[in-house]
Amino acid sequence: MSHLKKTLVIFDIDGTLLFSNKVDSQIFNLAFEENFGFPLPSLDWNHYPHVTDTSILRALFKTANVPHPSDEKIESFKDDYVARLEQGRVDNPQGFQEVPGAREIILQLIAHPQYEIGIATGGFRKPAFVKLNHVGIPTDSLFMGFADGNETREMIIHESLAQVPNLEQIQKTVYLGDAIWDVKTTRNLDMPFIGVRKDNDHEVLFKAGAHHVISHYPKFEDFEQLLIAAKIPKSLT
């Protein structure tokens, strides 16, 4: 049995591996209104608890004072959302751009025996695969957690962790995300964090407690040093 100590690197998707937040949010809203009869009151996900697709839906139905739809209706919404997302990436490929270097860094991590790679996203499973496939990120060897059945981001990360074989070999786990809620989640889990921000507005995450923020993925040896340096976000109290 190998006793090689490994680093587990877990990635968010939206804003972390590809920039699709604006278009994706609009498509989510269109599919939601078509399937449930009323629009989202806000596309600012900070307004919703836990910022996962499951918790967002629950909050929307509760606020609208309508019964939570059946599982079949939720699955129908997901399928409609995925179909619109598939068409959206064809109609507007510029709206679904890879974060520079994301695919290459994941391929290099997959090929390296010292690393395991995970995905933990607040989105549902089906649209997540659409996005990963769009930027050519292979999924066969990734340990993945999604919002399906998971209310909180902590639960989603734990779903990813639960799939890792020989978890005792993991000496460090680092999460990469783009949002303030990612900082909060990793702080709650005592997990080192690296931020990703598209527009060099790094201060957004620094003010939330992040120690390291990037706008693109550097060459592999520099990324390795970043993983070594990654820290649990600072407490703001």
In a shared domain, residues 156 and 191: yes
Residue 1 has what pLDDT? Answer: 44
**pLDDT single digits (tens) 39-67:** 999 988 888 888 999 999 999 999 999 99
In a shared domain, residues 87 and 174: no
**What average pLDDT is seen over the chain?**
94
- Label residue 217 exposed, middle or buried (CB < 10 Å: 0-12, 13-18, 19+): buried
**Mean per-residue pLDDT, 111-135:** 95
Residue 102 has what pLDDT? Answer: 97
In a shared domain, residues 106 and 215: yes
**Mean per-residue pLDDT, 207-218:** 97
Instruction: Calculate what percentage of the chain has a pLDDT beyond 70.
Output: 98
In a shared domain, residues 217 and 114: yes
**Mean per-residue pLDDT, 95-105:** 94
Domain extent for 63: 21-94
Total residue length of the chain: 237
In a shared domain, residues 59 and 140: no
Residue 88 lies in a domain: yes
Rounded CA-CA distance 175/193 in Å is 5
- Label residue 202 exposed, middle or buried (CB < 10 Å: 0-12, 13-18, 19+): middle
| Residue in the structure block whose two tokens are 């307004």 | 47
In a shared domain, residues 176 and 88: no
Rounded to 5 degrees, φ, ψ at 85 are -65, -40
**pLDDT single digits (tens) 162-203:** 999 988 899 999 999 999 999 999 999 999 999 999 887 999
**Mean per-residue pLDDT, 29-37:** 96
- Residue where one domain finishes, among candidates 47, 79, 94: 94
In a shared domain, residues 105 and 188: yes
Residue 4 has what pLDDT? Answer: 78
- Letter for the amino acid at 105? I
- Residue where one domain finishes, among candidates 94, 129, 156: 94
In a shared domain, residues 216 and 196: yes
Residue 1 lies in a domain: no
**pLDDT single digits (tens) 216-229:** 999 999 999 999 99
* Dihedral sign computed on CA atoms, order 169, 174, 177, 180: positive
Contacts of 210 (CB under 8 A, 6+ apart): 183, 193, 194, 195, 233, 234
Residue 237 lies in a domain: no
- Residue where one domain finishes, among candidates 70, 94, 118: 94
Residue 56 has what pLDDT? Answer: 94
177 strand-pairing partners: 195
60 strand-pairing partners: none
Closest by CA position to 81, among listed 123, 135, 144: 123
Residue 236 lies in a domain: no
In a shared domain, residues 120 and 215: yes
Our count of domains for the chain comes to: 2
124 confidence band (pLDDT: 50, 70, 90): very high
**pLDDT single digits (tens) 142-166:** 999 999 999 999 999 999 999 999 8
Residue 3 has what pLDDT? Answer: 66
Residue 27 has what pLDDT? Answer: 94
- Letter for the amino acid at 29? N
14 strand-pairing partners: 18
2 confidence band (pLDDT: 50, 70, 90): low
Residue 33 lies in a domain: yes
In a shared domain, residues 134 and 175: yes
In a shared domain, residues 15 and 54: no
CATH code, 146 = 3.40.50.1000
237 confidence band (pLDDT: 50, 70, 90): low
How many CA atoms does the CB half-sphere of 227 hold within 13 Å?
Answer: 25
In a shared domain, residues 180 and 146: yes
Rounded CA-CA distance 127/237 in Å is 36
Residue 180 lies in a domain: yes
